[in-house]
Amino acid sequence: MKKLLYLLALSGLAFACSPKEEAIDYTKMTDEERLKAATEIARSTIMVDGHVDLPYRMKVGGFTLQREILDVSVRTPDGNFDFPRSKEGGLDAPFMSIYIPAVNQKIPGASKALADSLILMTERLASAFPDKFAMAYSPADIEANFAKGLISLPMGMENGAGIEDDLANLEYFHKRGIRYITLTHGTDNLIGDASYDTTGTHGGLSPFGEEVVREMNRVGIMVDLSHVSDNTFKDALAITKVPVIASHSSVRKFTPGFERNMSDELIQAMAKNGGVMMINFGGSFIDSAYAAGADKVREHIVNWLAENNLTRQDSAAQAYIQEYTAQNNPFPTVQKVADHIDHVKNLVGIDYIGLGSDFDGVGDSLPTGLKDVSMYPNLIAELLKRGYSKEDIEKICYKNIFRVWKAVEEYAASAK
């Protein structure tokens, strides 16, 4: 009996001392092997994108449930998002942007009315195609939908003007399914100052905006600091009791003078708060040279169209625009997006990074290799090439944003 126990002990010791299975070294793979591995990771891992402008695209494109104009349950010839391409790219939970243009702020009631209509449109998409899409109001919902093979449709409101001047609308929109609110958009609003506006109406958050942030904490809506001015950003961080997000922002170091992106100081402050910065893919967000070139190309094309009595819709104009743009201002590449992720990782760590593409919201400026939702594996492959681990990728894809979201949920539950 003792001999048997001794032999069992030896075998257990041998097992305990055996080296762990070595982690896969993706850096030693060929590009083809790495892309295959990246595709497998993308499709087997929950992937959240902080900002996809599909609802407004559906509004502009004439959304219909009868498949007459725009039906994203099937592959579409334009735009960046649809169900088949989402499945190819491994996208599982694109935050649907309930986008309120700044012009609506000038008309009392217009912002809230538009928000309600876009929310309804998103809900109708899920109800019309229940075998493909489902609403999601929590990380748990996304996990359940993922297990069923469904694309989750969480919602975030882009521009806090949607609440009008009534704090009670925050609880109303939470009940409607809104899980983050971008405090401002293109111009200053009642909540605070915007990055694109130089007016500095409030010098940061307004007194009303301070109450908005507190109430968002209380009801369980994530505070989104994309689009806000630096002063608004700092004011919000000083008030919030929970981590915040930037749903679609990139690194200002690569775009000097572009306040819409985040400075190193703001990135560090957000990390200290425990928040998550979700990287925007738009060409002007990731490459200042492309942004400058785009301005020159745009000016030339406007003049050329006028001289030739053409519009952008004319086939001859489209061919010329495509050729001229390619020759005079080549798109940035997927490597540029990886550079932004690298910078945030090196500055504050892997725990504060997410994806916020701005698909369907940045026009044709998207980089080569990231033109639509089918192409996330190209970015993942580039990160693997740079030494990122599978665990790093999982954090970027969903674990970091889930951590923030759950913290917001828990705080709201404790505040009730």
Query: Residue 215: inside a domain, yes or no?
Result: yes
* Residue 22 in domain: no
Q: Helix, strand or coil for residue 217?
A: helix
Residues 183 and 105 in one domain: yes
pLDDT digits (tens, 9 = 90+) for 330-355: 789 999 999 999 999 999 999 999 99
Written as one string, the DSSP assignment of 314-362 is SHHHHHHHHHHHHHHSPPPBHHHHHHHHHHHHHHH-GGGEEE---BTTS
Tens digits of residue pLDDT in 194-251: 999 999 999 999 999 999 999 999 999 999 999 999 999 999 999 999 999 999 999 9
pLDDT at 21 > cutoff 70: no
How many domains in the chain? 2
Residue range 40-50: mean pLDDT, rounded = 98
Q: Are residues 241 and 293 in the same domain?
A: no
Residues 282 and 317 in one domain: no
Confidence of residue 86 (pLDDT cuts 50, 70, 90): very high
Q: Is the pLDDT of residue 376 over 70?
A: yes
pLDDT band at 22 (very low <50, low <70, confident <90, very high): low
* Same domain? 110 vs 167: yes
Is pLDDT at 19 greater than 50 in this prediction?
Answer: no
User: 373: Cβ–Cβ under 8 A, 6 or more apart, which residues?
Assistant: 49, 52, 80, 81, 82, 85, 86, 88, 89, 91, 94, 357, 359
Which distant-in-sequence residues (6+ apart) come within 8 Å of 161 by Cβ? 100, 102, 104, 105, 111, 184, 185, 189, 190, 191
Which of 331, 351, 385 is where one domain is finished? 331
Q: Parallel, antiparallel, or unpaired for β 93-99 and 353-355?
A: unpaired
| The pLDDT of residue 292 is above 90 | no
Global pTM reads 0.89
Q: Is the pLDDT of residue 188 over 80?
A: yes
Judged against a pLDDT cut of 50, whether residue 3 lies above it is answered with: no
Say if 250 falls within a structural domain.
yes
What is the percentage of the chain residues whose pLDDT exceeds 70? 93
Q: Is residue 356 part of a domain?
A: yes
User: Which residue range forms the structural domain that includes residue 378?
Assistant: 27-287+333-415
Stretch 63-86: mean pLDDT: 80
Residues 192 and 277 in one domain: yes
Confidence of residue 177 (pLDDT cuts 50, 70, 90): very high
Quick one: which of 271, 269, 276 has its CA closest to 248? 276
Q: What tens digit of pLDDT does each residue of 146-165 get?
A: 999 999 999 999 999 999 99
Is 1 within the bounds of a domain? no
Which of 309, 331, 353 represents a domain boundary (last residue)? Answer: 331
Task: Decide if pLDDT at 315 tops 70.
Answer: yes
Domain-located, residue 114: yes
Q: Which of 37-41, 194-198, 233-237, 300-304 has the lowest mean pLDDT?
A: 300-304
In a domain, 8, yes or no: no
pLDDT of residue 14: 40
- Determine, yes or no, domain membership for 164: yes
